[in-house]
Amino acid sequence: MVYGFLYPMIVFPNCKINLGLHVVSKRPDGFHELETVFYPLPLTDALEVLSPGTLSFTTSGIDVPGDQTDNLCLKAWRLLKQDFPELPAVNIHLHKNIPIGAGLGGGSADAAFMLQLLNNRFQLDLSKEQLINYAAVLGSDCPFFIENKAVYATGRGEIMQPIDLDLSGWSFVLVYPAVHINTGWAFGRITPQAPTRSLQESIMQPLATWKDTISNDFETAVFSAHPELAIIKENLYTAGAVYAAMSGSGSAFVGIFPKNKIGDLHFHPAYKVFVL
């Protein structure tokens, strides 16, 4: 299943969730060897591009922190401009709806969709493989959004193998508690170790088994510092989730429910809850 279809001048970058996440080892380059499954969900931003002759970037929706000139959408344009000098300056508007810093890959999705939009809008004739290579320059999660299908990912997350995983018969609840988890801090509290069972094998088992076989290595460290987040996972199971976990390094959580059979959801009123 693929979400986020392209339109002539506007695209709708979708989020992803991590189904399981193992930190396997520390690499010589300072990064960590990971094992995870990325799965796309239809919670989207909106990204619009016009070509007025000047380069600009504006946002609406959720506030985008930091220096906007460093936004990944602009970086995607600059990256292509290096190899395609004829690429015109564009006016970019991003309506942000996917929570930021939540482990949902929203920024990576925006960058990847920007590459695809420019490729289609200005007929750059880049292949999928070329787009994936450009996306990898922008971030480890970005290549996933070029394929935008379920994948088993290793390396830093950039080595992807498609898997036959269709969860369209289930309902999803995403919960974002607006707690910022610093990724570097989270990695620093994990002792890498190889899992006893490959996630690639576990993910192919019935979903009812995932609760006992699929884990996120970041949860122990994050829950110890933020015990209120463990309650989110408990509440998802109480509401009838078959599987619930933190996505990525957090702090968003995903609950997978039988289709249209979501029980009462009890969360702090400040939390953002998305039913998909």
State the pairing for strand pair 253-258/272-275: unpaired
Smallest CA-to-CA distance from 211 within 257, 165, 248 is with: 257
Q: In what order do the strands lie in the sheet with 170-176?
A: 243-246, 253-258, 170-176, 272-275
How far CA 250 is from CA of 18, 71, 99, 224, in Å, comes to 10, 21, 11, 13
Catalytic residue among 16, 96, 149, 233: 16
Distance CA 151, CA 39 (A): 7
Q: Which residue has the tokens 């996630």?
A: 199
Residue pair 42/206 in contact (Cβ under 8 Å)? The answer is: no
Catalytic residue among 45, 110, 141, 217: 141
Does residue 16 carry a catalytic annotation?
yes
Smallest CA-to-CA distance from 98 within 219, 274, 247 is with: 274
Distance CA 202, CA 195 (A): 11
Q: Is 82 exposed, middle or buried (0-12, 13-18, 19+ CB in 10 A)?
A: exposed
Does residue 141 carry a catalytic annotation?
yes
- Which sequence positions are flagged as catalytic? 16, 141
